[in-house]
Structure 1
Amino acid sequence: MTEFLALFLFLFTFGVLLVGYPVAFSLGGSALLFAFIGSATGAFDPAFLEAIPNRISGTLSNELLVAIPLFVFMGVMLEKSKIAEDLLDTMGQVFGGLAGGLGISVTIVGMLLAASTGIVGATVVTMGLLSLPSMMKRGYCPRIATGTICASGTLGQIIPPSIVLVLLGDVISSAYQQAQLDQGIYSPESVTVGDLFLGALIPGFVLVGLYIVYLIGVAIFQPHRVPPIPEEDRKVSKELFVQVLTVLIPPVMLIVLVLGSILTGVATPTEAASVGSVGAIVLAASKRMFNIAILKEVMRTTTEVTAMVFMILIGASLFALVFRGFGGDDIVRDFLTSLPGGVFGAMLLVMLVLFLLGFFLDFIEITFVVIPIVAPILLTMGVDPVWLGIMIALNLQTSFLTPPFGFSLFYLRGVAPDSISTMDIYRGVMPFIAIQILVLMMLAYWPSLATWLPDLVYG
């Protein structure tokens, strides 16, 4: 009876989410409903619910999670200050004389926006509004243009300082400690967000590099699909040099300052995020794009995103508590450990399930609901926590790019003109999905791609 209720709780909650009810209340409401049913049937001990206040208090007092609103504020402020627009224009001028140069520019700017905002939806929409009309005007193939924008926009999943990695860092750190307790090990060692940031650097840059290699290949074999910018539309070298210095250097310096302070241990993620927020205000003010109206809009967006994240986290904590009370974690553990292939079989199944869930659920919901259930089990089986975190982030990034349900595709479809069909977008992302899968396979075969830098710096 208990095992049945644990399974039915998960399926019921997933069904409620698919219907469209708010995530936080779906998680919390489903958990309380099944806790009541379980208490009435004797399958659930109500004493588990006494831990709810401590769970909520622990969530709200978690210093690491304060970095979330600060990184969101930083990203939204940079978006409102039109830095993305200036970056696209500058990089387009730098590479525009080459076939495929505009696509390469979009990829590089997408990487920079990912490192400065970390918000996939905002990056895809911004890139779609700013670069898609320019690429179409220059004669780019719609499939190449839309595929490049979608792929570049999803880099916010893996390029640090990514909000996804901040959330994963908190969840995997808790899972690592839980796995140690389950093994009877009491160690102060844990997994930090800095570990995940360092672990994501090599896979992230490999991904960006392969995107650019693909665009260069198209430029060599099918140059008519990615034509260069006409010479009359390019700027002279001196004027372009000044533009690069004034437009490119400030945001890059801000990214280096924020990320470097975290990786070197000079500042915590929360402290670095606060510096980044102040830096974003300074950049906006230097461009005369900072006033009370913009500040109010940025603060309103930041508050909405932060409230959503923390409400989902509270609902997910309640769900995890009730699921554990039904013995659901034991069910999942027994199932994964009994799979043929051992750790490989368990990882393969978990990655497949996460990939499919990525079609329907946002990364926040997956991070707070699914990862706390499966991560402690995989870590107990000997999986490296940093490698696991990067595999999850890269896997979800691939899922968000995959038709027909990829979130990035919906974001771009919402801002793309009617002249570009949905099938153009779907076909355009296919080569980039193949690259994503290739990097995911490389990471699975060579875990050191994710673990070498953290071991070098912190080991």
Structure 2
Amino acid sequence: MSAFGLVLLLMIGLGTVFTGLPNVVILLGTAVVGLVVGLLSGTIAPNLLYALPARIVDLMSSDLLQALPLFVLMGLLLNRLPVASALFHTGLALLPRSGASAPVAGLAIGVLIGPMNGSVGASAMALSRTIAPEMRARHVPLATVQAVTATAATLGVVVPPSLVLILLGDAMLNAHTVALNATGRMEQVVNTQNVFQGALVPAALFIGGAVLMTLFLWRHRPGQVRPSHVPLRRSDAIISALALPFVGGLLASVTLGYVYPVEAAACGALVLFVAGLASGHVSRATIGPLLDQAMRMTGALFALLAAATTLTLVFRLFGTDKLIADAMLALPGGPHLATGAALVVLAACALVLDAFEIVFVIVPIIVPPLLMRVPDATWVAVLILLTLQLSFLLPPLGYALVVTRDMLKGKASMPAVLRALLPYVAVQVLVLASVFAIPALVHPRERFGLAPPAAPAPLTPDEMRRNLDEMLPPPPDAAPAALN
């Protein structure tokens, strides 16, 4: 019955494509079907279901999950405040007058706003409401607007410290721990900070390649409209001068390890909330609906996490995880072939599942056996991120592209969108292939001689005893002698 778990995975894909039900309903419904089949067939013993509550409680106790509601609140505040539009106008004023100025400014906004919006769907909706109308007002074709907006929306997948990177880092830590326990290897377990820093160079390569491709395409575009110079408004300059150092410093501090993601999310949410109150964009009348929406979205994410945890438990009770592990270990060839096969599966899943479902459901099943063969967990994590980003852009089912085209309805045919999107997909494929062939790209600290200093030599027993004596309180004064 271990192969029945694969049938459950197929049911998830079919349910997502054809039913239109919420993802959490599909995951829970599939888990219930699996439990009923397992109990009726005798494959699953009823007493094993007692492990589910403890499993969910243990999962929800993760400190990283405290960042979920804070990132959601930050995304909602960013959508309410005119930060994106002010940065866009400032970028247009600073860039040379060219048809490429608006698309380049749109990509730059995606770099700054994407990691703070939480998810690809939220970024696509936010950018469709902010930078897309600005590009259309500057005579950028609708197909190009959709392609640029979809590409900018996926930048939050690879630019730290986005919610996708945080959750994937936690999932990679658990998967790497399972792999090390199974193989007996003595290695440092990968953590979220490793994933952050590993994604830096690939993200920079993609952003730089996308900007250069945009400049090249618009330079050779016949009959392009040369936009007129628009003076920078004082309000936009003030907002940009305040927001750019804050957002950039926050992202850099988390990526470099000076600030924890939860602390950064709390700081960002507080500053944006105060800025909203001071500017009048957040008032007493809007605080209630804003917090209500934040709690609804947070509850949906936690429900999705609980449903995914239930489903992965069903997979393990059926033995599907062992079946996949045996198949992964039996693949011929070296680590690159096994990694390539896993990435193909993830890319196929990303056509019907979003990033959170993949992190919660697919990664715990596929990645542990993969890491039994591939020792570089950071390299695997970054390849997963790049594969997800590529899949979200691939037509016709790419998640970012579907959301963007749904938000930006108009007379843009799919062939025209494909032509506008093809250069960015080519850059993404090139970056993915480069990281696949050169794993050193995900280790910038070691590659450029910036590795952390070596650990100090262990203390001798005498030094340890001396340090302990210094930490202990001084002995109390001797009691006075008894009176005669």
TM-score (norm 1): 0.91
- Worse-superposed segment, 306-315 or 139-148: 139-148
* Structure 2 counterparts to residues 391-402 of structure 1, below 5 A: 391-402=383-394
SS in 1 for 2:401: helix
Give the number of equivalent residue pairs: 450
Write out per-residue CA displacement over residues 370-397 of structure 1, whole angstroms, 9 at most, x where no aligned residue.
0000111111112422221111111111
Q: What residue is the counterpart of 1:20 in the other structure? A: 20
User: Which letter maps to 2:338?
Assistant: A
Report the Cα offset of residue 213 of structure 1: 0.4
Report the Cα offset of residue 80 of structure 1: 0.6
CA distance in 2, matches of 1:257, 1:64: 20
Report the Cα offset of residue 243 of structure 1: 6.0
Contact 1:27 1:316 in 2 (8 A): yes
CA distance in 1, matches of 2:296, 2:425: 31
Matched, 1:258 2:256: no
Change (3 A) 1:367 1:427: same
Q: What residue is the counterpart of 2:359 in the other structure? A: 367
Report the Cα offset of residue 454 of structure 1: 7.7
Contact 1:96 1:229 in 2 (8 A): no
- Worse-superposed segment, 245-254 or 144-153: 245-254
CA distance in 1, matches of 2:290, 2:194: 30
Which of 269, 286, 292 aligns to 2:284? It is 292
* Structure 2 counterparts to residues 22-421 of structure 1, below 5 A: 22-95=22-95, 97-184=97-184, 189-222=188-221, 224-225=223-224, 227-231=225-229, 234-235=230-231, 245-421=237-413
CA distance in 1, matches of 2:362, 2:207: 28
Write out per-residue CA displacement over residues 226-248 of structure 1, whole angstroms, 9 at most, x where no aligned residue.
x33214xx22xxx67x6675222
Write out per-residue CA displacement over residues 70-99 of structure 1, whole angstroms, 9 at most, x where no aligned residue.
111112111111211111111122225134
CA-atom RMSD in angstroms: 2.3
CA distance in 2, matches of 1:25, 1:407: 19
Per residue, is there more helix in 1 or in 2?
1
SS in 2 for 1:367: helix
SS in 1 for 2:385: helix
Report the Cα offset of residue 420 of structure 1: 3.0
SS in 2 for 1:3: coil
Contact 1:154 1:400 in 2 (8 A): yes
Contact 1:90 1:243 in 2 (8 A): no
Report the Cα offset of residue 164 of structure 1: 0.7
Change (3 A) 1:40 1:400: same
- Worse-superposed segment, 135-144 or 266-275: 135-144
- Worse-superposed segment, 357-366 or 255-264: 255-264
- Worse-superposed segment, 372-381 or 384-393: 384-393
Contact 1:138 1:228 in 2 (8 A): no
- Worse-superposed segment, 6-15 or 147-156: 6-15
Contact 2:114 2:123 in 1 (8 A): yes
* Structure 2 counterparts to residues 439-450 of structure 1, below 5 A: 439-450=431-442
Matched, 1:424 2:423: no
Write out per-residue CA displacement over residues 308-341 of structure 1, whole angstroms, 9 at most, x where no aligned residue.
1111111111111121121111110111222232
User: Which letter maps to 1:255?
Assistant: V
Contact 1:6 1:326 in 2 (8 A): yes
Change (3 A) 1:347 1:413: same
CA distance in 2, matches of 1:153, 1:273: 19
SS in 2 for 1:411: helix
Contact 1:175 1:375 in 2 (8 A): yes
CA distance in 2, matches of 1:126, 1:29: 31
Q: What residue is the counterpart of 2:477 in the other structure? A: none
Change (3 A) 1:35 1:301: same
Contact 1:120 1:153 in 2 (8 A): yes
List runs of 5+ in structure 1 lacking aligned partners.
Answer: none
Change (3 A) 1:454 1:143: farther
User: Which letter maps to 2:227?
Assistant: I
CA distance in 1, matches of 2:226, 2:125: 24
CA distance in 1, matches of 2:85, 2:319: 52
CA distance in 2, matches of 1:263, 1:140: 34
Change (3 A) 1:415 1:16: closer
TM-score (norm 2): 0.86
CA distance in 2, matches of 1:438, 1:274: 36
SS in 1 for 2:111: helix
Report the Cα offset of residue 401 of structure 1: 0.9
Structure number, greater radius of gyration: 2
SS in 1 for 2:333: coil
CA distance in 2, matches of 1:141, 1:42: 60
**Percentage of matched positions with identical amino acids:** 28
SS in 1 for 2:443: helix
CA distance in 1, matches of 2:9, 2:319: 12
Which of 411, 434, 443 aligns to 2:426? It is 434
Report the Cα offset of residue 417 of structure 1: 4.3
Q: What residue is the counterpart of 2:457 in the other structure? A: none
Q: Which of structure 1's runs of 4+ aligned residues deviate more than 4 A?
A: 242-245
Change (3 A) 1:29 1:71: same
Contact 1:115 1:255 in 2 (8 A): no
SS in 2 for 1:248: helix
CA distance in 2, matches of 1:106, 1:344: 35
Report the Cα offset of residue 458 of structure 1: 5.0
User: Which letter maps to 1:20?
Assistant: G
Contact 1:75 1:119 in 2 (8 A): no
SS in 2 for 1:182: helix
Greater RCO structure (CA 8 Å; 6+ sep)? 1
Contact 1:394 1:440 in 2 (8 A): yes
Report the Cα offset of residue 260 of structure 1: 3.6
CA distance in 2, matches of 1:99, 1:23: 40
CA distance in 2, matches of 1:316, 1:451: 31
Change (3 A) 1:263 1:132: closer
